[in-house]
Amino acid sequence: MFESILLFVFGSFIGFISPRLPILMVTRAKGFNYHFSQHPEPVSLSPHLTQRVIHMRTFYWLGLGLSLIPIAAGYASIIWGSAPLGFGMWISSGWAVINKLQTFIGGNDPPWTYEMAIRLQMVMNNSTQNPCCEFSEPEWQLTAVRCASCKITLDEMPRPDLGRKRSDGIIVGSIRLLASGGYPVVSEHYDD
């Protein structure tokens, strides 16, 4: 009985972590973060930042494809191998697929969207054409996009995880990222 529980938990862990591997591992590499400041410092608006948001969006949806591997392996394990291990993989990965697909029927948007990239590009273009101050330096801070020089808020868009190597270390940083799902630690508020 204890062995079955351990196998189920291990299978659930594999199914849970598999769809998140691109965001946890690939984006943290040094080559991906060459153009960005260290975490948790603000990130200057640039074409590299706009491209990073689009890359993060791509890696998010790539997780949907990676979910299919543990679903298939879990199904095969249920049929021909260890049922608890397979069931854990199947349940956890299946939940990840449902979680991602619910976006299309009215659920939460992913942490990184195409619209977010467009908004950042528009703020960057606007700050070039109509600067807020003499030394305009727009940067994406934790809670909004602000000018580093005059501190004026240019957009009330909180910053999600951008795939930078986290300052709190690999293990703690990964746990925080898994808990938040990449979403900002604060959310946008709208006055009706």
Provide the β-strand partners of residue 159.
Answer: none
Q: What is the arithmetic mean of pLDDT over 41-64?
A: 92
Which helix (H) or strand (E) element contains residue 2? helix 2-17
* pLDDT tens by residue, 92-129: 999 999 988 888 888 788 999 999 999 999 999 998 89
What is the model's pLDDT at position 49? Answer: 93
Cα separations (Å) of 121 from 47, 62, 116, 151? 8, 24, 9, 19
CA–CA separation, 54 and 64 (whole Å) = 16
Q: Quick one: pLDDT band at residue 25, thresholds 50, 70, 90?
A: confident
Q: Quick one: pLDDT band at residue 145, thresholds 50, 70, 90?
A: very high
Q: Quick one: pLDDT band at residue 191, thresholds 50, 70, 90?
A: very low
Q: What is the arithmetic mean of pLDDT over 27-52?
A: 87
Q: Quick one: pLDDT band at residue 136, thresholds 50, 70, 90?
A: confident
What is the model's pLDDT at position 192? Answer: 41
Name the average pLDDT for the chain: 88
Contact by Cβ (8 Å): 126, 155: no
pTM here is 0.86
Name residue, tokens 């689009």.
Answer: 54
* pLDDT tens by residue, 64-87: 989 999 999 999 999 998 999 999
List the chain domain ranges.
2-180
Contact by Cβ (8 Å): 91, 17: no
**Residue 59 C-alpha from the chain's centroid:** 8
Dig out the tokens for 116 from the structure: 């977010």
